[in-house]
Amino acid sequence: MKQTAYLAVFALAGLLAATVLPSRLQAQTNPTEKPFVSGGRIEMHLDGGDYEVRAGATNRIRVTLSGNTAGAKVVLNTNGTHADLAVTNTPHNNFHALIEVPAMADLRIQLSAGNLVTGAIRGNKDIESHAGNAEISVGNPNDYARVNASVNAGNIDADAFGSSTGGLFRSFKWSGPGKFLIHAHLGAGNLTLQK
């Protein structure tokens, strides 16, 4: 009788491990990646979540998902100097994505909602989000010819360009000696432009 009870407990433990393990394996998915040229244009359409976009070690676009990734889908297409990346069907909580790109690239990012952090990638930046915070590392401010940033509700901390403002329908404009452009708009949230 005791042996049967022990066997039942071990069988139940094995069954629980088998059902829990796959969800743990979702903690980090195999990356989606493709080679891509330095200085190309990358367009990203991102469903809600927390995203970090940073310069990778090589000329590739590499997307690694972590946290709750159930159902999330990554589609990456490249064609010469143009790339399209879509991250769709993301869960509503604890979804994270790391997107590595060449150190020099033009970025066009449309985020439905969530938080975005970008590293100091050299190139034009065009970033829009309906809701959430965006933290953009600009590198050398003198690399830019024009900066146009706005929020419908929230704060703009443009420390890299010596300005800050907050409230409703706030905007910030700056001109400099460089060649790159920054356009950033948030519906609601805090926008940070830092070195």
- Of the pLDDT bands very low, low, confident and very high (cuts 50, 70, 90), residue 28 is low
Q: What H or E segment, with its residue span, contains residue 16?
A: helix 2-25
More confident residue, 148 or 14: 148
Q: Look up residue 115 and give its two tokens.
A: 């938080």
Q: How far apart are CA 36 and CA 55, in angstroms?
A: 12
Q: Give the residue from 176, 165, 187 showing the smallest Cα distance to 139.
A: 176
In the block, which residue shows the tokens 């050299």?
122
pLDDT of residue 22: 37
Q: Are 66 and 96 in contact (CB under 8 A)?
A: yes
pLDDT digits (tens, 9 = 90+) for 41-57: 999 999 999 999 999 99
Contact, 62 vs 97, CB < 8 A? no
Across the range 139-165, mean pLDDT stands at 94
Rounded Cα distance, 117 and 104, in Å: 17
What is the rounded radius of gyration, in angstroms, for the C-alpha atoms of the chain?
Answer: 21
pLDDT tens string 108-141: 999 999 999 999 999 999 999 999 999 999 999 9
Residue 167's pLDDT is 84
